[in-house]
Structures are given as structure tokens and as C-alpha cells.
Amino acid sequence: MAERPYTHVLSMLQEAGLRPTRQRLGLARLLFEAGNRHVTAEDIYAEAKVAGIPVSLATIYNTLHQFTASGLLREVVVEPGRAYFDTNTSGHHHFFFEETGDICDIPENEISIVRLPPLPQGASLNRVDVVVRVTGGSGRNYN
Amino acid sequence: MAERPYTHVLSMLQEAGLRPTRQRLGLARLLFEAGNRHVTAEDIYAEAKVAGIPVSLATIYNTLHQFTASGLLREVVVEPGRAYFDTNTSGHHHFFFEETGDICDIPENEISIVRLPPLPQGASLNRVDVVVRVTGGSGRNYN
DNA sequence: GTGTTTGCAAAGTGTTTGCAATTTA
DNA sequence: TAAATTGCAAACACTTTGCAAACAC
């Protein structure tokens, strides 16, 4: 759970070629200074309000997508109609708690996929997502 | 690819405890009489129109969910904002062609997951979904 | 007949877009 | 100052809902 100081967040943006605007810096701090997170746009919108970061929902969406395009975030799809963004961009998988909507990480080495099928011709592998769907429990008492 | 005659579709509905209305029968035939399919609500809405089955989009959604609740269909989530329904309800996984939006089945025995992580306390396993995301190619020349 | 199912149109949710005003370098 | 970024409000895609009419048993 590396805590990232302000300066690190700043250089993350610079390295990604994104101007460090007030909004982007504020959102990056919320996202990256607190360990691995799985958030929706509404989640950080609410957090930004509380934190006093002046930002609109449209900018939240823009920013999340820019961060994703830059490899700072990764999009996780577990439910139709809701996009989650994961601050952990390295290879790993997820538990999804169907009742609470919580998501939590499964380290890559805790699951191993043996024997991937041959890819369809002309296709190149992008990534393999594994979602372990569970009922009961919650992300609270895990990770 | 078992072709299912009209009578089979009828008994599927009866066994599921669903009244075999004109709409449900028509949709069931479109869905189940042509082998494994991955469709969106709009997909079968369009097909129903062509096939001359009088049905509204609201009923399509109702029906897809009733079929899913009865175990006749399975919902597959690969993109936020779009729900796919899979006529193959047995254990298997999917290729997802990110550009075309095509989905196709990967038989369960072509992928094996070794060593699932311990479930969070209080949680019970619902199912494990594996999505192999690829770029290039399409569902056309596969399966 | 009675309860179920349908369909319309309206509402809902989550997300994207156009464009003028603002901010950054 | 020039180019990038923001924010509003409107538009969007997809899905759900309320309720009266139609249907199945």
C-alpha cells in the first residue's frame, strides 16, 4: 500500500503528459494516495465534494478516461450500467460481491489459468479478466 | 448445436413455469432454435420485427430477465452499458472482441483455473467468469 | 372470470457531448 | 496569448416502471 506524496502524484501526471490542473491533481490524490481503490465516477465525485475539490461530473468522466488511456487506471466491468475504475493497473483479478457491489483485488498469483485456448485467427490478446462472483460477505472484511 | 423443435421450446417454458404466450414462444424460438447465441435486447427486438413476432421492447426486457431467472439464459457482462444474454447456460467462458463487440464461447475444458483463492469469510461462490479480451479478428471466423 | 402478461409512454440511470468561459504554460 | 481544460446543460443509450388493455387458463 504505497502512500504517494503530492509530488509523486504530480509527476504521475507529468509523465502521462497531462497538465496538472487543480482538478486532475485533486482527483489523482484522492485516487492514488490511499492504496488500491475501485471507484465509480459518482464515488469520487462525492469524495471530491467532501474534499473541497471543485470539479464537475463531466470532468470526472473525462479525467477517469484520460487516466485510463494513460495507463494510470484500469476499467473493470462487472455489472452492466456501471463502470468501475481500479487504481491497480498490474495484472490481477477480482472478487465481486453481487449484493453490495463491492469489488476487491485477487493478486495475480492466487489464480492461475492454465492452457488458454488458441486465439481466433487475426486476434491478439489484450488481457484476461477473471471475476469471481460471490454472494454474502462484503469487501469490508477482506483485503 | 442442438436444434430444438417448437415442441421443445414449448416445454422449456412450461418447465420454467412461464405461460407460453405468443411473445415468449416467439422469442424462445429465436433464442433457442439456432444453437448458442449471445444477444442484446435490441438484437432480438430487431430479429423479432423481421420474424413478424409482435413484441415491444419492454416485453423483450421482461422476457430476457424471466428467462435468466429461470436458468434458461445467462447474463454476460463485458462492457458497461450493454447487457448480453447467452443461450449457453452451462459452465464456459468467453472471448470478447473489443472492436466489433462480438462474443463467443470458450468451452470450459479449454481453460482451466487452478487454485482459486480462499473466499472472503461469509461469502459463497456464485460463479467464475473469465473474459479473454482480444483486439482484431471477429466472432465471425470462430466457433 | 381471474390473474397474468403485454405495450405504451414516461421516467430513470449512467455516461457523453457541444461549446463558451476559464485556466495553464 | 495560444492551446488545453473545465463546466454547464442538453443529449444519449440502455433499461425499468406504472398502468390500462389484451390475453391465457
Q: How many CB atoms lie within 10 A of CB B90?
A: 10
Separation of first and last alpha carbons in chain B: 11
Work out the angle between the directed axes of helices A22-32 and A6-15 (0-180°, nearest 10).
120
Whether the CB of B42 is less than 7 Å away from nucleic strand D comes out as yes
What residues of chain B lie within 8 A of the CB of A112, using their CB? Answer: 113-115
- What does DSSP assign to residue B100? T
Residue B22 — pLDDT band, cuts 50, 70, 90?
very high
Q: What is the pLDDT of residues B59-102, one digit of tens each?
A: 999 999 999 999 999 999 999 999 999 999 999 999 999 988 99
Please give the span between the terminal C-alpha atoms of chain A, in angstroms, as a whole number. 11
How confident is the model at residue B7, as a pLDDT? Answer: 80
With respect to CATH, is domain A17-79 assigned 1.10.10.10? yes
What span, in angstroms and rounded, lies between the C-alpha atoms of A122 and A118? 11
For residue B128, give the chain A residue with the closest CA: A132
Q: Is B91:B128 a contact under the CB 8 Å cutoff?
A: no
Residues 102-141, chain A: which have Cβ within 8 Å of B?
104, 106-107, 110-117, 119-139, 141
List, in sequence order, the alpha helices (H) in chain B: 6-15, 22-32, 41-51, 57-69
3-state secondary structure of B54: coil
Each residue's pLDDT tens digit, A32-59: 999 899 999 999 999 999 999 999 999 9
CA distance A28 to B64: 40
* Sheet of B38-39, strands arranged across: B38-39, B82-86, B74-79
Q: Write out chain A in H/E/C secondary structure.
A: CCCCCHHHHHHHHHHCCCCCCHHHHHHHHHHHCCCCCEECHHHHHHHHHHHCCCCCHHHHHHHHHHHHHCCCCEEEEEECCEEEEECCCCCEEEEEECCCCCEEEEEHHHCEEECCCCCCCCCEEEEEEEEEEEECCCHHHCC
Rounded distance between C-alpha atoms, residue A78 and residue A84, angstroms: 8
CATH 1.10.10.10 residue spans of chain B: 17-79
Average pLDDT over residues B3-28: 91
- CA within 13 Å, CB half, B53: 22
Q: What does the pLDDT average to over A10-35?
A: 96
Pairs from A40-48 (Cβ < 8 Å, separation ≥ 24): A40/A82, A40/A83, A40/A84, A40/A85, A41/A83, A41/A85
CA A63 and chain centroid, separation: 12
Alpha-carbon span B94 to B76, nearest angstrom: 9
Average pLDDT, chain B: 92
CA distance A50 to A47: 5
Average pLDDT over residues A85-99: 95
Give Cα A50 distance to the centre of its chain: 20
Find the farthest-apart pair of alpha carbons in chain B and give their distance in angstroms, rounded: 51
pLDDT of residue A114: 85
The pLDDT, as a whole number, for residue A32 is 96
Q: Which of B111, B114, B119, B132 to mutate to test the interface with A (most CBs of A within 10 A)?
A: B132
Instruction: Give the residue on B whose Cα is nearest the Cα of A99.
Output: B123
